[in-house]
Structure 1
Amino acid sequence: MPATDSPAIILARFLKANNYIETLEIFLREAGLPLDAGSASKGDLTIEKILEEKKTFDVSVSFEKLGIDDDEKGWRLPEGRVAAERRDHTKYVVKVASWEEPDGVWIATVGWDAKVILYRLNWSTQESGSIDYHALHTPIASISVPTNPEAILFVQHPEDKNPILLLARRDSTFLYYYALPDPSNQTAPGTPLLLGRQNLAPHSNAWIAFTPSAIALCPTDPSLLAVATSAVPHMKLIIVRLLFPPLSSISTGPHLSSDIPTAPVSLLDRQDPSLPTQASQTRAALVVADRENTAILIHCTTMSPQTAYSTPTLAWRPDGSGVWVNSDDGVVRGIETATGKVVSTLNGHEPGSKVRCLWAGHVGIQGDDDEVRLEEWIVSGGFDQRLIVWRVPAATDG
């Protein structure tokens, strides 16, 4: 027997509902349907329902064409045109970060040409109150690194509140802190200065343990960083306290791990007590490693499967209580930042498909009483061509 929503069954229902008995008998015989075909129960599809849905569809299409309140909801003019275009990387640009200031914005791009390029987009406020955006000119500075950059982020230095560029690169367990050049000096702004670096595996004996592939600042504590690593077969998550190098690094050189001399002191030089000995260098290195190890609050396994070709990503919950991570098995996992335990799994993507991108945050929802309340939403996109919006129920929702 054909499916209950097949054209033959729907037509048989119409004939039987309207008492076309003879026509129904002939139709059932010629269509090869059983004698009880055409019996309708509650919820079955009928010709009347199809026509009703068609009319509703036509009305919705006409509304889309005509529009309602076009002045408020229509396409704004002038139209999202190309304001500026640059081609300064020689290979793919993989990450972009920005930092807004009163007189402009810093833009940093990283590419697979092992370069970080810094732009400065300045603007001025006109008499009408509108912002006049200037073109994106030649890069202010660039940083060449030994391996391709993996993640980049602007963070605020706690001493002078100026932005610091935080960089993670492939095949390195370090976070690199760079001071930005002076944007007011247009002729010779200088180059970003390496202030210091912070090891995320200070006591590891392996040459390369992992790569920090994705980084994100905690929304409630700007000194707390979540790091998704390239570890296989399962992603590992690190929650670490940022160890900002002191601003004296600008004049005295980089601090933290990179301030430890690597060349041994000769026997003749050891006669000078002001010079470091090999033992003192070892003790200094151990002190730095202990400090970096103490800064790591959580180092846990997320149970999210990945390979060397995966692209880890993560998103903080807006209250800072947890981190969502992607995976290659189609599952979004929630990690509790206090314990490092997997406390939630979101199953909506096709099993075995990669979850490629994540976003989490608060969304304002207007209720029946016109009061706007904040709801926590998660958005995930995957290789299964699905974009899923997850709503976190409030405590009162049960």
Structure 2
Amino acid sequence: MPSRDNVHVLVARYLRDNGYKNTLEAFKEELGLEDDMIPSDHSITLESIIEQKRLFDLSRELEAVTVADDEDKWHVPYPAFKSILPKQSPESNILFVSVANLSIPASTDDPSSGFPARPCILTSSADRSLRIFDFYTLELLRVHTHLHASPILSFLVFNESTLLTGGMDGRLVVSNPATGDIIAQLNDHQKYLVRIACSRDMKYVATAGYDKKVNAYSIENLGSDESNFAFAKIGTISFPTNPEAILFATTEGENESESTTPRLIVSRRDSTFLYYYKLFPVLSEAARHNLNPDGTSWVSFCAMDMSLDPVDHKFLVVATSTVPQMRFMMLQSRSDQILKNVSTKAPQDAYSSARICWRPNGTGFWCNGDDGIIRGIELSTGNVVAELKHHDGKVKAMFAGIVEGREVLVTGGFDKTIAVWELEKR
């Protein structure tokens, strides 16, 4: 008699137990099985084998992110010493911050005067201004108030002399941050342009607006002169609710060309799904992944922010709109397998803007909160291991990265202040 773990016996037992009588009879005749050769022992089933295989695959995935040594834990030291940027007049709520190398001329009277690129802090605020500070001296270098007719909600430094900004006027503006000259602009959104994303290879740009649309473009820069910067529209995605977060990620495609072309990931209000779009041959949905761990369709949250891990770019961390405390989820960028689902303990309400920033070494991330506290979350455990306290009220804007080999964090809030956090005192 065949053993109970014989492949043919397992298949026959599965067919019998699930009522596939005709298929079972044909299977028995094909293999010469008798009824007494198919035991009733259910200690090993096809379902249990598949479940064991699923758990094995999950354990292999978690090996990359499960704490094994001290080096996998939250890295110490971390940015904890703050410097406060000088307050500007008029004082306004801070909407967005970033740090990047910019070519700022030595003289405002002579924009062509040479000056090597230097680290700069860029901020936008509710008074419509875009301000640029020297990272080291905190000196105010430039103030641009003419780029948009309303406040700038998001921006992206494309290179040392090219800046992309999106405003409440719905426009995407390309400008030279040193001179303020507008190079190009698009008017494809009818309401707030809330997000700008760029692919890692700098070939594609996407914008998300509160007109319930996401637009995708390829970048056409015809030469070294940034004045040739132009967009070619790939397509528009229309949603029933407002998009909240967009991100480009390279995923495994069906063929070599697809695997090298990034896909656009989108989240939207009143949906627990992440939507994956391929750019070519037309902008179209390729997959959707449900972030609800129960797999149900009822809505309890949405993804408000997304970020790829800075080391391998394989893991996606999501900050949710969950009330009363933000949760973070981690999954593979091409999978709906939720690897972590933990509360950040950061308070928020239905009107909050959850933000999340990876530490450059990938050992954890920072998240904002309505109580003004910046929380450091250790990725391996999901525990809150650091708290940075300065802001009085909601923190709206965060940037985390490396500036000339030094880890930094920049935060801005509705208390109208901007804090620069570093590893050591200045």
TM-fit CA distance, 1:99:
2.0
Alignment partner of 2:115 out of 68, 72, 83: 72
TM-fit CA distance, 1:118:
1.6
Q: What pairs up with 1:303-342 in 2 under 5 angstroms?
A: 303-342=345-384
Report the Cα distance in structure 1 between the residues aligned to 2:396 and 2:387, rounded to whole angstroms. Answer: 16
Q: 1:202 to 1:304 in 2, by over 3 A?
A: closer
What is aligned with 1:300?
A: 342
Alignment partner of 2:196 out of 64, 72, 96: 96
Report the Cα distance in structure 2 between the residues aligned to 1:237 and 1:358, rounded to whole angstroms. Answer: 16
What is aligned with 2:402?
A: 362
Q: What pairs up with 1:231-250 in 2 under 5 angstroms?
A: 231-243=322-334
2:421 is aligned with 1:378:
no
TM-fit CA distance, 1:121:
2.3
2:123 is aligned with 1:83:
no
2:154 is aligned with 1:111:
no
Q: Could you give the per-residue CA deviations for residues 151-170 of structure 1, whole angstroms, max 9, x where no partner exists? A: 00011123422111011111
Question: Would the aligned equivalents of 1:239 and 1:296 in 2 still touch at CA under 8 Å?
Answer: yes
Report the Cα distance in structure 2 between the residues aligned to 1:198 and 1:134, rounded to whole angstroms. Answer: 38
Q: What pairs up with 1:50-199 in 2 under 5 angstroms?
A: 71-72=114-115, 79-99=179-199, 101=201, 105-125=203-223, 130-131=224-225, 133-134=227-228, 136=230, 139-159=233-253, 160-182=259-281, 191-199=282-290
Higher strand proportion (structure 1 or 2): 2
Q: 1:233 to 1:100 in 2, by over 3 A?
A: closer
The alignment's C-alpha RMSD in Å is: 2.9
TM-fit CA distance, 1:71:
4.5
Tell me, which stretches of 5 or more residues in structure 2 are unaligned? 1-105, 117-140, 143-160, 162-175, 254-258
What is aligned with 2:390?
A: 348
What is aligned with 1:391?
A: 422
Report the Cα distance in structure 2 between the residues aligned to 1:66 and 1:202, rounded to whole angstroms. Answer: 58
**Equivalent residues, number:** 256
2:370 aligned counterpart, secondary structure: coil
TM-fit CA distance, 1:362:
1.4
Report the Cα distance in structure 2 between the residues aligned to 1:298 and 1:158, rounded to whole angstroms. Answer: 22
Aligned residue identity for 2:247: L
Aligned residue identity for 1:162: T
Question: Would the aligned equivalents of 1:86 and 1:136 in 2 still touch at CA under 8 Å?
Answer: no
Tell me, which stretches of 5 or more residues in structure 1 are unaligned? 1-62, 183-190, 245-291, 365-373
Alignment partner of 1:200 out of 271, 280, 291: 291
Q: 1:205 to 1:142 in 2, by over 3 A?
A: closer
TM-fit CA distance, 1:139:
2.9
Q: What pairs up with 1:24-43 in 2 under 5 angstroms?
A: none
User: TM-score with structure 1 length normalisation?
Assistant: 0.59
Report the Cα distance in structure 2 between the residues aligned to 1:228 and 1:384, rounded to whole angstroms. Answer: 22
Q: Could you give the per-residue CA deviations for residues 150-192 of structure 1, whole angstroms, max 9, x where no partner exists? A: 100011123422111011111111111100034xxxxxxxx31
Alignment partner of 1:214 out of 305, 329, 343: 305
Aligned residue identity for 1:359: F
Aligned residue identity for 1:226: V
- Tell which has more relative contact order, 1 or 2 (C-alpha 8 A, sep 6+): 2
Question: Would the aligned equivalents of 1:119 and 1:136 in 2 still touch at CA under 8 Å?
Answer: no
Q: Could you give the per-residue CA deviations for residues 51-76 of structure 1, whole angstroms, max 9, x where no partner exists? A: xxxxxxxxxxxx99999xx7437999
TM-fit CA distance, 1:201:
1.1
Question: Would the aligned equivalents of 2:220 and 2:232 in 1 still touch at CA under 8 Å?
Answer: no
Q: 1:242 to 1:120 in 2, by over 3 A?
A: closer
TM-fit CA distance, 1:204:
4.8
TM-fit CA distance, 1:335:
0.5
Report the Cα distance in structure 2 between the residues aligned to 1:65 and 1:301, rounded to whole angstroms. Answer: 48
Question: Would the aligned equivalents of 1:124 and 1:133 in 2 still touch at CA under 8 Å?
Answer: no
Question: Would the aligned equivalents of 2:273 and 2:290 in 1 still touch at CA under 8 Å?
Answer: yes
1:72 aligned counterpart, secondary structure: coil
Report the Cα distance in structure 1 between the residues aligned to 2:231 and 2:203, rounded to whole angstroms. Answer: 13
Question: Would the aligned equivalents of 2:234 and 2:283 in 1 still touch at CA under 8 Å?
Answer: no
Higher helix proportion (structure 1 or 2): 1
Q: 1:134 to 1:340 in 2, by over 3 A?
A: same
Q: 1:66 to 1:154 in 2, by over 3 A?
A: closer
Aligned residue identity for 1:149: P
Aligned residue identity for 1:243: R
Question: Would the aligned equivalents of 2:251 and 2:333 in 1 still touch at CA under 8 Å?
Answer: no
TM-fit CA distance, 1:233:
0.7
Mark the structure with the bigger radius of gyration. Answer: 1
